[in-house]
Amino acid sequence: MTRRTLLATAAGAALAAGDRFKVCVFSKHFQWTDWKETAVLAAQLGFDGVDLTVREGGHVLPERVGEDLPRAVEILHQAGLETPMITAGIVDAASPHAERILRTASSLGIRYYRWGGFRYQPTKGIAEQLEEFRPKVEALAALNKAHKMCAMYHTHSGPGQVGASIWDLWVLLKGLDPWAVGVNYDIGHATVEGGYGDWITTTRLIAPYLRGTAIKDFRWGQNAKGEWVPQWCALGQGMVNFPRYFQMLREAQFTGPVQLHFEYPELGGADSGKSRMSISKDRFLGIMRRDLQVLRSCL
C-alpha cells in the first residue's frame, strides 16, 4: 500500500474503525508546553487521548503526582480527551514514588501505565538474569493488583535491552495475571529486531499479554560513522507493515491504548522531548496531523 493510497482512504477508514482503537499522543512530544496547551492541541489534531509523562522531566513530576496528576487529567478531560494510561519511570515495586503514582492514577480511573526497563549485564548469563528479574516482576504484579492497575512493559530494540527479543518477556510474564503485568508492544522496535517475519512470530507469542501498543516507523540508514542503524521516519515512509499488524491486533481482539510516537528529527527537538523546538508550531502540528491521518487509514 502506497503512502498516497493511505492518505486518500484516511477519512473513510477512520469512520470504519469506529471506537475500537483509541489513539493517544505521547505527551513527551509536547514537553515544550504546559498541560493546557497540550490538551488544546491534542484535541484540535483529533487524538482520542493523551499518554501523559509522569517521570523525571515529564509533564508531572513523580514527587508531585498527588497534587499535579489530578489537575492535569482534569484539564485533558475538559478538552474531551481520555487518559487511559500514563508513562511512568517505574522499573519495579521499589522505584521511587511507585506506590503513590499507582494510587493516584487508579483514583483517577487510569488503568494502565508504561513500565520498564530491565537491562542485561554482559558479565552474567541471560537465563540467570531472567531468574533474578522474575521476583521483581512478581512483586510489581502484586502491587498493581492492590491498586487495580496494569503495568505494560515497553519494548525497545538494541543490545542489552530486556524485551527486545520479546521471548524473554514471555518468560518473565508466563503464569502471571496479564491484567496486572503485560506488554506495551512497540511495533517499530519489534520490526527493527525482526523485520522480515520474526515480528509476526513475536506478536503471536506475546498476544495474551499485549495491553498497549506504540506506533512508529523506521528505515535502515547509515549514520555519520557509516554504521547501519534504524532511522525513525514518518508513518508510511518506512518498513513497518502496519496493515498486517493491525489485522493481527483485530484478530487478537486487542482493545488497549494505541500510542502514536513521533521520534524523527523533522520535529526539531520535540521528537526527543526537549523543552524548545527549532520548528514553528504550525509545522509541528502539520507533521502530527499527517502521521495521525496515515495511522487512522491503517486502522
pLDDT digits (tens, 9 = 90+) for 82-96: 999 999 999 999 999
Look at residues 73, 179, 92, 187 and name the one whose alpha carbon lies nearest to residue 132.
Answer: 92
Tell me what percent of the residues of the chain surpass a pLDDT of 70: 94
Q: What percent of the chain has pLDDT over 90?
A: 91
* 49 in Cβ contact with 284 (< 8 Å): no
Residue 134 Cα to chain centre, angstroms = 23
* Rounded Cα distance, 297 and 262, in Å: 17
pLDDT classification of 2: cutoffs 50, 70, 90: low
The answer on pLDDT for 6 being more than 70 is: no
Average pLDDT over residues 46-64: 97
pLDDT score for 264? 96
244-275 pLDDT, tens digit per residue, is 999 999 999 999 999 999 999 999 999 999 99
**Coil, strand, or helix at residue 149?**
coil
Specify the 3-state DSSP secondary structure of 225. coil
Where do we find the cell 481520555? 82
**Mean pLDDT taken over the chain:** 93
Take residue 25 and report the three cell numbers written for it: 499522543
pLDDT at 116: 87
Q: pLDDT band at 9, cuts 50/70/90?
A: very low
Q: Is the pLDDT of residue 12 over 90?
A: no
Residue 37: its pLDDT value, please? 98
pLDDT at 50: 98
8 A C-beta contact, residue 102 and residue 144: yes
Using the structure block, give the residue that is written with the C-alpha cell 513500565. 115
Please write the tens of the pLDDT for every residue from 110-158.
Answer: 999 999 889 999 999 999 999 999 999 999 999 999 999 999 999 999 9
- Whether 233 contacts 265, CB under 8 Å: no
Task: Give the model confidence (pLDDT) of 13-35 as tens digits.
Answer: 433 444 578 999 999 999 999 99
